[in-house]
Amino acid sequence: MATKAAAIVVVLLAMAMNCFARSNERMTYSVIAIEYIGESDGLVRSVLISNSEAGAEWYRRMVMRPFDAKQADPHVISISLLNDLIAAIDTFQSARQTHVVSPKGAAVQVSIITPERNSPLFHNSTEALSLLEGVQKTFSKDESLSGDIAYFQKRILQYRRW
């Protein structure tokens, strides 16, 4: 009986250590996720921007729904460029009305996850298009990221009923 109790304690401790290790994993990554929330007649691929492949993969695995995760376009940029982008998004958001919960209908969710914060905010189509235009200008030399953002903008324009 004591052996069985000791085995149970060891298993519970291992499970707790595993959960703690997974929760700490987030603390080392910085990710910006741009996602379309709402009805569509086709796929609107999310854009993930991180300072590491592991950060983008962590976001896919731990935050996104499995189908959406397979369809996300990850991009890895330097931490200094990522910090510049976060500052630009913060400046944009402070100048416009943002929503902590999704407005009625469709929206664009911009999530900023760093060791210091977790900020998902929602924008209507007009706000989102303005924000994405600024992001696209920042990354005009990165053809892959700029192209994915242009595609995302095009898809938002198709669903601009909101």
Q: State residue 104's pLDDT score.
A: 58
- Output the pLDDT for position 32: 92
Q: In 3-state terms, what secondary structure has residue 118?
A: strand
- pLDDT for 20 equals 46
pLDDT tens digits, one per residue of 8-57: 544 445 554 554 445 444 457 899 999 888 777 667 888 999 999 999 98
Min mean pLDDT across 43-47, 67-71, 72-76 is at 67-71
Compute how many other C-beta atoms are within 10 angstroms of the C-beta atom of residue 29. 19
Whole-angstrom Cα distance, residue 7 to residue 13?
A: 10
Q: Where are the beta strands (DSSP E) in the chain?
A: 31-37, 47-50, 73-76, 107-113, 118-123
pLDDT in tens, 102-154: 555 678 889 999 998 888 888 888 888 888 898 888 888 888 888 888 888 88
Contact 159, 128 (CB under 8 A): no
Question: What's residue 161's pLDDT?
Answer: 53
Q: How far apart are CA 104 and CA 113, in angstroms?
A: 24
- Whole-number Cα distances in Å, 102 to 16, 109, 130, 132, 154: 34, 8, 18, 18, 21
Domain residue ranges of the chain, discontinuous segments joined by +: 28-158
